[in-house]
Amino acid sequence: MDSKRLALAFGASAAILILWTLLFPPPKPAPRAATPAMPTKATGAGEGAAHPAATPMPTAAAAPAAGPAPAAVAPIVAEAPRHLTVKNGVLAVRLSNRGGEVVSAGLIRFRGGHGEDVPLELVRKDAPFAGRTLVYDPADPFLARAGAALHETTVETGRNEVVVRFRYREADGQGVTRTYTFGTGYVVGLRVEREGGRNRTAAVVLGPGVGNPTEEELANRYTKPGSSVTLSGSRSVSRKAKDGLKEAVALGSGFLAAGLEDNYFVTAFLPGAKETVTLRPVSLVAAAGPAKGPVPAAAPEPLVETEVVVAAAGTLEAGLYLGPKDIDVLSTVRPGMEKLIDYGWFAILVSPLLWLLKQFHAAIPNWGVAIILATVVIKVVLFPLTWKQLVSMKKMSALQPKMEAIRQKWTPKLKSDPQARLKMNEETMALYKAEKVNPAGGCLPLLLQMPILIAFYNLLSHAIDLRHAPFALWIQDLSAKDPYYVTPILMTLTMWLQQQMMPATGDATTRKVMGFLPLVFGFMFKDMPSGLVLYWLVQNVLSIAQQLLLERYTDLGMRPKAAKKA
């Protein structure tokens, strides 16, 4: 009985549904507007088979929404790949209409670092690097599609500038226009305008890395290819090593510059007030080498680099600096840009020292000779301090027997008498006072010399003028290490000889420790630029010659000795 009732209920329900459909049919759907299929055309040289032509990705079916659907528009996309090169007196930039990215940025006045007589390339080319820069941020779905698509290209040539514009648009109205403005210097204007869609953030990525360093340069702890550098509105500089990031860091807005650097060159955004800066780590995996024997080759460790992302709502406007870390050039780009050169704590002394080097180089066009002559001038200027240091050390050396007698007197009592060390120090200070000797006299002049020496050291390690500058014989690049380690060995020997000539001061333990310093310095300097080693070597030679002359013709402050006749 229950089964019959259930069957009758199902039958009645079906009859009601059929009758309702016949009486009230659903409205017919409106016809769909046809989407134009033909894109706009762009002329130019073909890009080759390495990058097949990209077409806009089809727009996914939208979920039902309360608002009206966006009206279909004509898409803008080029049919064929195209590369074009823009040159001025200092830059040669090659652009691709695939996303409008920069695939090459050559510095015409600088040579590459691989022994090739070609302009220095700032865009990474070798695996595993991307070989491109200034791509759209792939974290945004639309920008990712735009970065892979072919853009319509227009070029406007003026008297002193060239304007290149790349435009792309999809059928749903989302589009982006990228405009480059090339002048006569190292700064390129960049403008990115985004249209359509709910998210209208324009974001461009710089990097990863800068230039094409050799394996030796990547392994050298004194070079920093791919390190990030930012210059805040207050003109303070912040740096992170290329592998110093573990996760993305949003820095915000208000930066004068944000980019990537090595010792001698920098690629940096010059953002406006509203553009935000983000640093992101990038993990690149190199290709595995061939297997040796039956054991398979080990997987290479990923190479961690840094990329810089600049973004803005709607329209992004930022300059782009692609050039050398030249203090004369950077100071004309933006106020404070010269601080991108890391001259250390004593940067105020760098300008006069750099001026001195350039004066000597103008008279004798050899940077090695200029370093030698500048070192001589520094040694002459610091002679009064050196004289006081030697006089103080000479007097301290004369007091060594009396000081040793005091130590022998009190040393046996140090364990039994808690006041013994205090009494020993009081007796030593009384001896200094009686003999009119300042125990810090030998150190104070040296401390006063250090700012000049450190500033000169930092100048030579970052001077773009010394890059690939030859000196003589086997030293053909003052910015690279001595290939045969001749100058580091000579520097170590002259430093040891200078130490042996100095008046003996301190106890035996102190003298033994100081005896290892030449070896420590020699090890530290073996991989440093040969220009730095040359400076330190000449400094040692001049100190030895200076001390020999003082020992021969004076008694270091007492009374002059009669000069020996020839």
90 and 215 housed in the same domain: yes
**Beta partners for residue 45, in sequence order:** 83
Tell me the C-alpha to C-alpha distance, in Å, between residue 143 and each of 52, 138, 164, 188: 18, 6, 19, 22
Strand arrangement of the beta sheet that strand 135-136 belongs to: 135-136, 201-206, 303-313, 276-284, 249-253
Name the nearest CA neighbour of 338 among 252, 256, 251. 256
Q: What is the four-CA torsion angle of 532, 538, 539, 544, rounded to 10 degrees?
A: 150
Distance CA 106, CA 486 (A): 34
Q: What is the four-CA torsion angle of 324, 327, 329, 333, rounded to 10 degrees?
A: 100
Indicate the helix (H) or strand (E) that contains 28. none
Report which listed range, 37-46, 375-384, 396-405, is most confident.
Answer: 375-384
Whether the per-residue pLDDT at 160 is higher than 70: the answer is yes
| Residue 235 included in any domain | yes
97 and 183 housed in the same domain: yes
319 and 468 housed in the same domain: no
335 and 390 housed in the same domain: no
The pLDDT of 150-155, averaged and rounded, is: 94
If one compares 446 and 544, the residue with the highest pLDDT of the two is 544
Q: What is the pLDDT of residue 62?
A: 37
| Residue 443 included in any domain | yes
The pLDDT of 30-39, averaged and rounded, is: 36
| Residue 64 included in any domain | no
Name every residue whose Cβ is closer than 8 Å to that of residue 325 and which is 6 or more positions away in sequence.
261, 263, 264, 265, 266, 340, 341, 462, 464
| Residue 78 included in any domain | no
Share of the chain above pLDDT 70, in %: 72
189 and 128 housed in the same domain: yes
Share of the chain above pLDDT 90, in %: 26
| Predicted confidence (pLDDT) per residue in 452-475, tens digit | 778 877 887 788 888 888 888 888
Confidence of residue 31 (pLDDT cuts 50, 70, 90): very low
362 and 306 housed in the same domain: no
| Predicted confidence (pLDDT) per residue in 538-558, tens digit | 988 988 888 787 777 666 554
Confidence of residue 528 (pLDDT cuts 50, 70, 90): confident
| Predicted confidence (pLDDT) per residue in 76-108, tens digit | 999 999 999 999 989 999 999 999 999 999 999
| Predicted confidence (pLDDT) per residue in 171-211, tens digit | 989 999 999 999 999 999 999 999 987 888 999 999 887 87
| Residue 5 included in any domain | no
Q: How many domains does the chain have?
A: 2
Task: Report the predicted TM-score, pTM, of the whole model to 2 decimal places.
Answer: 0.71
354 and 338 housed in the same domain: no
If one compares 35 and 425, the residue with the highest pLDDT of the two is 425
| Residue 491 included in any domain | yes
Q: Is 354 helix (H, G, I), strand (E, B) or coil?
A: helix
| Residue 272 included in any domain | yes
264 and 364 housed in the same domain: no
269 and 387 housed in the same domain: no
How many degrees, rounded to 5, is the angle at CA 465 between CA 464 and CA 471? 125
**For helices 350-363 and 367-381, angle between their N-to-C axes, nearest 10 degrees:** 130
Q: What is the pLDDT of residue 80?
A: 92
236 and 268 housed in the same domain: yes
Give me the CATH number covering residue 136.
2.70.98.90
| Residue 383 included in any domain | yes
143 and 280 housed in the same domain: yes
The radius of gyration of the chain from alpha carbons, rounded to an integer in Å, stands at 36
The pLDDT of 3-24, averaged and rounded, is: 50
Full residue range of the structural domain in which residue 218 is found: 83-284+301-342
355 and 334 housed in the same domain: no
